[in-house]
């Protein structure tokens, strides 16, 4: 290869674009005086195999630096070095000694000797730096696969960590595939049998696992360094291009099982951190563009809690985000995105909230993204809270008020019944003003951030000592209750209560109008031993222990039967032409509210119970629900159902031991009495349909 192999190239498209003759490279850098395209023989190369200076007079169009290199093919390892002013007081942080990833790179190669600290120190870091890899996104056989476009009304989301799902030795996955996309493929039958319809994967963009306190590992992945490349460590294949194919193999396999793929995406900050963070990509190319800065550009504004904030509404960053989303939909076939700290995307370049943020409308109006599931975590780490007011028509929102109000009710707090009812109805107090469908509320009680369901009913306090911060990290108020003893207990009465409470939370979540989300392992009472901030615990604290399937088989069975009823269209029929899911029936039903006496609900401050009757619009199928968070049994009067024998059938009673706690709908037990004794802290669901 010689100088004649390098041509001027074009500024578009950005990134490394392959054709039959070679590769076109294009990168944005406004303030650079010289960009060097550097080629490596492999990820561990201590020195570049070739350095191609991009002369501004030939290889620069506006702020885009570009070149076409003949003879290059997919698999070529490359990076950039950017020369320019180092003036942190003005926002410029060019360092010509640092190897930089391509912001549009589709694959990343990580050397075995990678050291994050090297990128934060003066001097060259080629041998220990991440590097980009040329990839052709169209080189994959999809075999007719495409995103599933399942309606939200029939969606059940399962929040899952790719590594943690199969990394435990008990997973049954071969050691080489544990903790990988390939390992997840092997567990698809489990997901399908459980009854979930979408996996929401914690971050799979390439992230820096070393962005964590010394001696620990960034496990969650909320420290992205690339917005296009899948995380290399989640692949069982060693070659960088194999990572792309393994991810797509996983998507294709999930789609064949009828399961959608939603990615938890981080467009609010990067792993480059604050002023003393490493120079890996964006900081070295256009620091003053990619990040929100103040004090004349000398200081990073931190709305993310991670040291920096992406300048999401700058045109260059807007394009980067939108192009990333398009790539994951077009070339990787994902079905949707959950946006971490999404309220940051509504801030302008000075950090002020915008009434009509351009990036949010870019995403909402993009025809390539039409039909894609968009879920917002509608707050940020600086206090901007937008649940119920997030901009856009197609966005769903994580409803943290659902989480908090259900926790308060089942803990036995006073003054919780009215809020509980609002959450069960799809939170009309939050969303009704926008005339949104109930599915806009993503209903959850637990997620990766906080206690697991088991720990929610087993711990009053967080126990994060393993994180190395003297238990200072993580939320202090979890609205949890340990049921009488902190941590694991051998007392049968406490274990029975905890089991009942888990089932209470699950029942309420699946009966509420909205889109339900479950946390990985809650169906088998996965524990983190009281750690509510396990972001740095890549070990058995965070992994799915598959032995729990036997230990807590009753809870697993309970969830599977709940989800079966939620999804089934053959049992719940409103008219001869419409077969509807349980969630659709709940939204269309007539509702009567009760206390222990019919039609007399107790809304008082000291009430801890509520009952309601749901009748389909044609009264073929009826449901009667009784929720008792009181510490004594309560006897509820039952409404009459004329011309039916028996009038009611017991489907769920969380106070009963398995298999009587829940059954298949058609196997429900007859209830002939006019009242029902609901035991302390338990839920009962009765059903009725014509003989």
Do residues 517 and 441 touch, judged by C-beta distance below 8 A?
A: no
Q: Which two tokens stand for residue 614?
A: 């749901």
Reading phi first (left if > 0) and then psi (alpha if -120 to 50, else beta), residue 427 is in: left
Measured between alpha carbons, how far is 380 from 402 in angstroms, rounded to an integer?
Answer: 18
How far apart, in Å, are the Cα atoms of 646 and each of 272, 289, 333, 481, 594? 65, 69, 49, 38, 21
Measured between alpha carbons, how far is 263 from 369 in angstroms, rounded to an integer?
Answer: 14
Do residues 1 and 117 touch, judged by C-beta distance below 8 A?
A: no
Measured between alpha carbons, how far is 650 from 599 in angstroms, rounded to an integer?
Answer: 21
DSSP 291: B
191 φ, ψ to 5°?
Answer: -60, -40
Do residues 401 and 423 touch, judged by C-beta distance below 8 A?
A: yes
Which residue intervals of 527-623 are DSSP H helices?
A: 548-551, 553-567, 582-588
Count of beta carbons in the 10 Å neighbourhood of residue 392: 16
Measured between alpha carbons, how far is 52 from 42 in angstroms, rounded to an integer?
Answer: 17
Pairing of β 336-339 and β 373-376: parallel
Active-site annotation holder among 118, 272, 340, 522: 340
Is 264 among the residues known to form the active site? no
Reading phi first (left if > 0) and then psi (alpha if -120 to 50, else beta), residue 371 is in: left
In three-state form (DSSP H/G/I as H, E/B as E, the rest C), the secondary structure along 337-350 is EEECCHHHHHECCC
Q: Which two tokens stand for residue 402?
A: 């659902």
Do residues 625 and 614 touch, judged by C-beta distance below 8 A?
A: yes
Q: At what angle do helices 553-567 and 492-511 cross, to 10 degrees?
A: 10
Place of tokens 């060259």: 124
Is 377 among the residues known to form the active site? yes
Place of tokens 């092997």: 186
DSSP 239: S
How far apart, in Å, are the Cα atoms of 446 and each of 398, 467, 517, 594? 11, 20, 8, 28
Reading phi first (left if > 0) and then psi (alpha if -120 to 50, else beta), residue 341 is in: left
Measured between alpha carbons, how far is 432 from 436 in angstroms, rounded to an integer?
Answer: 6
Do residues 343 and 390 touch, judged by C-beta distance below 8 A?
A: yes
Active-site annotation holder among 377, 405, 455, 523: 377
Do residues 61 and 11 touch, judged by C-beta distance below 8 A?
A: yes
Measured between alpha carbons, how far is 568 from 583 in angstroms, rounded to an integer?
Answer: 10
Residues tagged active-site = 340, 377
């Amino acid at each position: 290869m010689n100088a004649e192999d390098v041509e001027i190239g074009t500024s578009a498209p950005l990134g490394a674009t392959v054709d039959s003759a070679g590769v076109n490279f294009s990168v944005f850098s406004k303030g650079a005086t010289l960009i060097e395209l550097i080629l490596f023989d492999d990820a561990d190369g201590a020195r570049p195999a070739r350095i191609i200076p991009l002369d501004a007079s030939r290889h620069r169009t506006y702020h885009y630096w570009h070149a076409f290199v003949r003879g290059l093919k997919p698999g070529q390892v490359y990076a950039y070095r950017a020369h320019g002013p180092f003036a942190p007081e003005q926002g410029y942080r060019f360092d010509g000694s640092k190897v930089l990833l391509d912001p549009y790179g589709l694959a990343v190669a990580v050397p075995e000797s990678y050291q994050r600290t090297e990128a934060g120190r003066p001097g060259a870091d080629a041998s220990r730096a991440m590097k980009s890899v040329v990839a052709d996104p169209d080189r994959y056989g999809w075999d007719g696969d495409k995103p599933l476009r399942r309606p939200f009304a029939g969606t059940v989301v399962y929040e899952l960590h790719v590594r943690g799902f199969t990394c435990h030795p008990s997973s049954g996955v071969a050691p080489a595939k544990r903790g990988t996309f390939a390992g997840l493929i092997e567990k698809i039958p489990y997901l399908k049998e459980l009854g979930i319809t979408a996996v929401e994967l914690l971050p799979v963009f390439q992230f820096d696992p070393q962005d964590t306190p010394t001696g620990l590992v960034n496990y969650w992945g909320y420290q992205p360094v690339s917005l296009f490349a899948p995380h290399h460590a989640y692949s069982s294949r060693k070659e960088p291009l194999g990572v792309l194919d393994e991810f797509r193999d996983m998507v294709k396999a999930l789609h064949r099982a009828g399961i959608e793929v939603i990615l938890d995406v981080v467009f609010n900050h990067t792993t480059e951190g604050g002023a003393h963070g490493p120079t890996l990509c964006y900081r070295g190319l256009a620091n003053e563009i990619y990040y929100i800065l103040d004090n004349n550009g000398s200081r990073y504004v931190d709305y993310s809690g991670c040291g920096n904030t992406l300048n999401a509404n700058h045109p260059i960053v807007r394009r980067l985000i939108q192009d990333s989303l398009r790539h994951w939909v077009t070339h990787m076939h994902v079905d949707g995105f959950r946006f971490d700290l999404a309220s940051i995307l509504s801030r302008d370049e000075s950090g002020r909230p915008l009434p009509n943020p351009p990036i949010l409308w870019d995403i909402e109006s993009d025809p390539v993204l039409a039909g894609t599931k968009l879920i917002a975590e509608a707050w940020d780490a600086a206090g901007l809270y937008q649940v119920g007011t997030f901009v856009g028509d197609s966005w769903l929102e994580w409803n943290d008020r659902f989480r908090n109000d259900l926790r308060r009710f089942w803990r036995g707090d006073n003054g919780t019944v009215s809020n509980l009812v609002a959450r069960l109805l799809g939170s009309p107090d939050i969303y009704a003003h926008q005339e949104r469908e109930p599915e806009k509320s993503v209903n959850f009680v637990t997620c990766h951030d906080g206690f697991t369901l088991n720990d929610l009913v087993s711990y009053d306090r967080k126990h994060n000592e393993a994180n190395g911060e003297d238990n200072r990290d993580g939320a202090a108020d979890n609205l949890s209750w340990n049921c009488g003893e902190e941590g694991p207990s051998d007392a049968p009465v406490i274990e029975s209560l905890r089991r009942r409470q888990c089932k209470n939370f699950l029942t309420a979540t699946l009966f509420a109008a909205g889109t339900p989300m479950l946390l990985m392992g809650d169906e088998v009472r996965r524990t983190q031993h009281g750690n509510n901030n396990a972001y740095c615990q890549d070990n058995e604290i965070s992994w799915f222990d598959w032995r729990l399937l036997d230990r807590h088989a009753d809870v697993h069975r309970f969830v599977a039967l709940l989800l079966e009823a939620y999804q089934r269209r053959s049992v719940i029929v409103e008219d001869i032409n419409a077969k509807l899911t349980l969630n659709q029936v709940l939204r269309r039903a007539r509702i009567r509210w009760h206390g222990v006496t019919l039609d007399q609900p107790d809304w008082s401050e000291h009430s801890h119970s509520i009952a309601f009757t749901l009748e389909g619009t044609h009264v073929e199928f009826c449901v009667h629900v009784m929720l008792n968070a009181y510490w004594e049994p309560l006897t509820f009067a039952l409404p009459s159902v004329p011309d039916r024998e028996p009038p009611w059938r017991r489907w769920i009673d969380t106070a009963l031991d398995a298999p009587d706690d829940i059954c298949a709908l058609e196997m429900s037990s007859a209830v002939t009495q006019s009242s029902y004794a609901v035991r302390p802290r338990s839920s009962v669901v009765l059903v009725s349909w014509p003989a």
